[in-house]
Structure formats: structure tokens, C-alpha cells
């Protein structure tokens, strides 16, 4: 197949909504949504602040299979409230992971895929959202005792806040060129450090430091993928089949802290190339 034919045959994953993404990953006919929009499980807190809620609270949870392997998928809708997580959406994800744990206890080897498109906790539900994210993180750790949990960051909303920690707890993490990953979002850094330190409007600068390619090159993601449904589905299947890594990142904190310690207490801002060199183990 020529490059042109391959391009024409490709189907964008980034352009799909959360429900479409979950359906696209699962085997044909196996998609079964849990707590869908007709169940009207929505946040009780948004209306009080004049915000129109969404009937599924911006989180789609489905069970099905990928290449015949039992799977639960939790997909965050980045178009609703910036993919932010509150009490209901967070509980849906944690519940899906806990359901997979129970499946494994019953002899059904159910793995999980998290489609992460989120700015982190929803400020309107801050304490409740933080509690829900903590439950998600605990559920990821619990499920990994049985089956892998794979995180995928695809779209430009990226993955920030407490959910970036959840991403770091996954068995494997995949990113696309459009993706971003960071603990704090650009606007938050700019607000706290000032425009001279971090200009959130400078998209090339932002992506050079937190974009998918940079995070993969720095060893913080396991695969860097093109925006193509077939390619993403194939990569997910491969990582699920590979199981738990022998030395996951979340169990190597000393290694990463030692690299950061080389910067000292008063370090000028690094450019993208120096960040890569640092994470790849080059002190220069």
C-alpha cells in the first residue's frame, strides 16, 4: 500500500467522541455500555452553579472484548467540562475497574483500558472529585494484581492533575502526537509562575515540553502512535497481551528522582532537548 493509500484508509481516533472511541476499540458486536445516558447518572452539583449537566457526566464505561480478550473501557469525554472529573464520573471509572477486579476473582481475566482526556478534578466538585480520583488510583493498583491496565492519551485536551498520576500508575501508557501529559496544565503554571516563565498561548513551546512525542522520548510513555484507529487498536492489543512490565515506572521513583536531582536547587528553565537528555540519563 502506498503512503497516499494508507493515509486515505486511515480513520482518525482523535476526532471521535468518547463513546465512539470505546466502541472503535472493542470487537464488533461486543460493546455493552454500563450506566449509559438513558440511566441519567449525572452530577447533582453543576445545576446549582448554572452549568447544564450531561446525562452520563462525561464518562463512558463499556464492557466487551479486544481480540477476544475480556475488557472494560472507561473513556472520558474531553468536550464536556474539559474532561474534568467530579463525583459521578470518577465513581463510574473506579466502579468499572473494581468490576474488572471482581471478574478476575470469578475466573474471568478482564483487563482495562482508560481513555484519558482530562484536565483533572472538576473545580465545582473539588473535594468529591479528588476523593473519586483517589479511588480510581487505588482501583488501578488493585486490578494490576490480576490483569494489565493500559492508559491512552490521544487528544489535545491531554491528561493533567490527579489523573496524570493515574496515568503514571497504569501498566502501560500510550500517546499520540496530539496528546499532552503533565501534572499541572499550562494555564495553571502561567498563573502561578508568570507569563515570562510559561506562556500558555505558545503552543509549539507547550507541546515541545508536554506533548506525546516528548513524553515518549523521555521514557514517560511506552508507545508513540499515529492518529489511526487500527494502529491504536493493534498497539493496545499487543500491550494487553504483554501483561505487566517487569519494572514499571511507578516502582522506579529513585531512578527518576536521581535524574532530577542533577538539576540542583536553582536551575534555569530547560528546553525540550535538555529535558530529553535528562530523562534519558545524560547529565548534560
pLDDT per residue over 50-105, tens digit each?
899 999 999 999 999 999 999 999 999 999 999 999 999 999 999 999 999 999 99
Distance spanning both ends of the chain, measured CA to CA: 42
Q: Given this model, what pLDDT does residue 49 score?
A: 86
What's the rounded Cα separation, in Å, for the pair 172 and 222?
Answer: 6
pLDDT of 30-62, one tens digit each?
Answer: 999 999 999 999 999 999 888 999 999 999 999
Q: Do the beta carbons of residue 152 and residue 116 sit within 8 Å?
A: yes
For the chain, the average pLDDT equals 92
Average pLDDT over residues 222-230: 95
Edge to edge, the sheet with strand 172-176 lists: 32-34, 59-66, 69-76, 111-115, 149-153, 172-176, 223-225
Cα 124 off chain centre by: 21
Q: Is the pLDDT at 5 greater than 70, yes or no? A: no
User: Which residues are bridge partners to 118 per DSSP?
Assistant: 159
Question: In Å, what is the CA distance from 179 to each residue of 122, 172, 185, 216, 250?
Answer: 20, 15, 13, 11, 21
**C-alpha cell read off for 100:** 474488572
Average pLDDT over residues 165-191: 93
Q: Do the beta carbons of residue 220 and residue 260 sit within 8 Å?
A: no
Amino acid at each position: 500500500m502506498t503512503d497516499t493509500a494508507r493515509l486515505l484508509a486511515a480513520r482518525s481516533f482523535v476526532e471521535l467522541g468518547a463513546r465512539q472511541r470505546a466502541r472503535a476499540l472493542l470487537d464488533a458486536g461486543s460493546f455493552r455500555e454500563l450506566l449509559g445516558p438513558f440511566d441519567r447518572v449525572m452530577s447533582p452539583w453543576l445545576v446549582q452553579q448554572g452549568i447544564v449537566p450531561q446525562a452520563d457526566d462525561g464518562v463512558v464505561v463499556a464492557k466487551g472484548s479486544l481480540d477476544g480478550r475480556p475488557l472494560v473501557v472507561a473513556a472520558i469525554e474531553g468536550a464536556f467540562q474539559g474532561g474534568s472529573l467530579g463525583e459521578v464520573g470518577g465513581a463510574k471509572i473506579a466502579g468499572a475497574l473494581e468490576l474488572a477486579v471482581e471478574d478476575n476473582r470469578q475466573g474471568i481475566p478482564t483487563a482495562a483500558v482508560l481513555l484519558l482526556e482530562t484536565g483533572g478534578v472538576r473545580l465545582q466538585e473539588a473535594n468529591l472529585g479528588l476523593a473519586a480520583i483517589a479511588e480510581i488510583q487505588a482501583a488501578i493498583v488493585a486490578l494490576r494484581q490480576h490483569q494489565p491496565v493500559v492508559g491512552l492519551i490521544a487528544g489535545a485536551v491531554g491528561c493533567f492533575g490527579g489523573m496524570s498520576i493515574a496515568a503514571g500508575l497504569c501498566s502501560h501508557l500510550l500517546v499520540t502526537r496530539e496528546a499532552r501529559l503533565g501534572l499541572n496544565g499550562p494555564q495553571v503554571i502561567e498563573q502561578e509562575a508568570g507569563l515570562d516563565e510559561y506562556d500558555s498561548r505558545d503552543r509549539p513551546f507547550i507541546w515541545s515540553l508536554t506533548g506525546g512525542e516528548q513524553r515518549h522520548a523521555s521514557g514517560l510513555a511506552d508507545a508513540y502512535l499515529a492518529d489511526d484507529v487500527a494502529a491504536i487498536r493493534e498497539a493496545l492489543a499487543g500491550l494487553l497481551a504483554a501483561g505487566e512490565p517487569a519494572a514499571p515506572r511507578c516502582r522506579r521513583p529513585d531512578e527518576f528522582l536521581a535524574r532530577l536531582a542533577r538539576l540542583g536547587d536553582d536551575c534555569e528553565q530547560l528546553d525540550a532537548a535538555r529535558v530529553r537528555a535528562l530523562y534519558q540519563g545524560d547529565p548534560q
